């Protein structure tokens, strides 16, 4: 059980500190191929546990971003939105039960418990495929939880969502002009 250390924004900073270490841009930059995938699982676990302890996930994310040195702005907003979206996805798929959280805490994929993909593993998808834009491989804002079979059926397709996200990533300084051009081709 975590000790309660309230600090930034009235949030239990223990949760925020765990998430901050997972989303720290300097650490993410040193990871190998798909290195951030496990970090998304772990961060979602910490957000779920914080919520269970009565903390507001959006406030925990604000504190975590501050602790990770991600200043307010587009990059922070995109990272926050992605992790809150992933928390919602994991909840809707029934992955936040005790067994699922135990797996996610270790950075492993829980089993989807609800919906048409029940029994599937929860996987981490690159919204903008890494085959199209490898520089976004370990950008938290580009990572989204989804059932494995759904992820495998996506291939490396670029649609309106990917083009829109690429523009946002570029404006936030998360994507180079060369990367943006690769997506917009």
CA distance 69 to 79: 12
- Over the stretch 4-43, which tens digit does the pLDDT of each residue have? 444 444 556 799 999 999 999 999 999 999 999 999 999 9
The pLDDT value recorded for residue 12 is 65
Euclidean distance between CA atoms 14 and 179, whole angstroms:
36
Encode pLDDT of 95-104 as tens digits.
999 999 999 9
Instruction: Locate 24 and state its tokens.
Output: 């720290």
Contacts for 2-7 with beta carbons within 8 Å, 24 or more apart?
Answer: 2/53, 7/63
Q: Is the pLDDT of residue 2 over 50?
A: no
pLDDT category of residue 156 using cuts at 50, 70 and 90: confident
What per-residue confidence (pLDDT) applies to 157? Answer: 86
The pLDDT assigned to 72 comes to 76
Domain boundary assignment for the chain: 8-113+122-184
pLDDT at 11: 57
């Amino acid at each position: 059980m975590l000790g309660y250390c309230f600090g930034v924004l009235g949030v239990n900073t223990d949760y925020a500190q765990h998430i901050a270490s997972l989303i720290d841009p300097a650490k993410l930059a040193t990871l190998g191929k798909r290195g951030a995938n496990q970090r998304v699982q772990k961060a979602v676990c910490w957000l779920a546990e914080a919520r269970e302890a009565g903390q507001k996930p959006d406030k925990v994310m604000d504190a975590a971003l501050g602790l990770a040195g991600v200043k307010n702005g587009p990059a922070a907003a995109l990272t926050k939105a992605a992790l809150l979206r992933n928390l919602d996805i994991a909840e809707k798929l029934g992955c936040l039960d005790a067994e699922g959280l135990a797996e996610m805490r270790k950075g492993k994929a829980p089993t989807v418990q609800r919906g048409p993909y029940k029994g599937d593993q929860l996987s981490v998808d690159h919204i903008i495929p890494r085959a199209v834009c490898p520089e976004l491989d370990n950008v938290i804002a580009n990572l989204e939880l989804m059932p494995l079979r759904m992820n495998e059926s996506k291939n490396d397709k670029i649609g309106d969502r990917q083009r829109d996200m690429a523009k946002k990533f570029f404006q936030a300084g998360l994507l180079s002009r060369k990367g943006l051009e690769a997506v917009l081709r």
